[in-house]
Structure 1
């Protein structure tokens, strides 16, 4: 009980810098904050690890499949080289070229297939959401770390600083932001799996 823990304040000094009310407030607020912040940190830590691993997986898919957004110049070079060799062989043998020439044109405008554009769009969106969740998680961890560290000073000064930070926490909707982080990861997973379905559909 705070009455047993802290001596009674002299009369007219109930709100002095070292009064019992401030020390009691600090004790109660520290217990309250420790429980809430511990739960938030656990949630953010799990999301941060998952977002990092998921981003690495999506990045591997994006790096490979995004190459389909531009012409495959290796394949074009192989086609043109095959035609050139075939024509030279026909000329050296004194025969005519009796096979149709390909319509490959390396200077023509390239338009990726619709499915390729959709898959890349979905996977890039998934990666952006996952990285955003990771970035916000890091910022939240830094904010919580700063929130829990009170500077030195009298109990009244520390109580005022703690209350100021708590009001800032509510004003910036930090609990709501932490609650929305799993939704960001759910959206990232949804976009990734939709892209995977579109990618595997023609197979």
Structure 2
């Protein structure tokens, strides 16, 4: 049979189903690769990012409670005073413990950092689920109910699987995970600025300027594709608006 001759089918309509299956083969291979490529990058990034956030949290959560070392110094000072006044037989009145209340900036810093860490871990978990769903998608697309399944039945199964993926927004789900990763980074940056301001205004101011410049670039990259469809710079916000 020459290259220009068409294959013979038992049923005339099989030619249509065969053309459909061959035409969708490239997309069937590219779609799960895109899902796995995106989620693999997310897993790598969230692993490193979560470790970084956790290192900052180890130091910041201590500011939510009173310093036990400082309290010990106060008690020792009271003990020395009591020993010095022991000969005078004066009653020793222990002062009430100082009430402790964490500052608003400390509370917000920990809220931002803990939220950032939780979101990063959730993104990692969702990425592993997407990779599992991607493998299931490939298996379902290529699965045959029986060995001699007709082209029509295979095409119907393929359409059924594709409709489910489109109906439940698998592609959009992956984009949402990327958006959550970006949100996690933004929350960490906000917490970092709040953490720096009480210590050094200059460092905090410069860090704020750097963050503001990147936020501006991010917003521009998100909005320009809405005005110019040929713009290659896009963010998850571009797909959601």
TM-score by length of 1: 0.79
Alpha-carbon separation, structure 1, partners of 2:132 and 2:82: 68
Unmatched 5+ residue regions in structure 1?
none
Alpha-carbon separation, structure 1, partners of 2:5 and 2:129: 37
1:83 Cα deviation from its structure 2 partner: 1.5
Match of 2:119 in 1: 129
1:77 aligns with 2:75: no
Q: CA RMSD in A?
A: 2.7
Runs of 4+ in 1 over 6 A off after TM superposition: none
Match of 2:237 in 1: none
Match of 1:55 in 2: 50
Between 1:164-173 and 1:55-64, the stretch displaced more is 55-64
Determine which of 98, 101, 119 is the counterpart of 2:109: 119
Higher RCO (CA-CA < 8 Å; seq separation 6+): 1
Deviation string for 1:50-78 (max 9, x for gaps)? 01211121122223311222233343133
Match of 1:7 in 2: 7
TM-score by length of 2: 0.68
Number of aligned residue pairs: give it: 189
Alpha-carbon separation, structure 1, partners of 2:6 and 2:68: 80
Alpha-carbon separation, structure 2, partners of 1:119 and 1:103: 32
1:137 Cα deviation from its structure 2 partner: 1.4
Secondary structure at 1:112 match in 2: coil
Match of 1:195 in 2: 191
The alpha-carbon distance between structure 1 residues 91 and 156, as it changes in their structure 2 partners (threshold 3 A), is same
The alpha-carbon distance between structure 1 residues 79 and 40, as it changes in their structure 2 partners (threshold 3 A), is same
The alpha-carbon distance between structure 1 residues 20 and 200, as it changes in their structure 2 partners (threshold 3 A), is same
Conserved 8 A contact 1:68-1:116: yes
1:5 Cα deviation from its structure 2 partner: 8.2
Alpha-carbon separation, structure 2, partners of 1:5 and 1:56: 60
1:39 aligns with 2:44: no
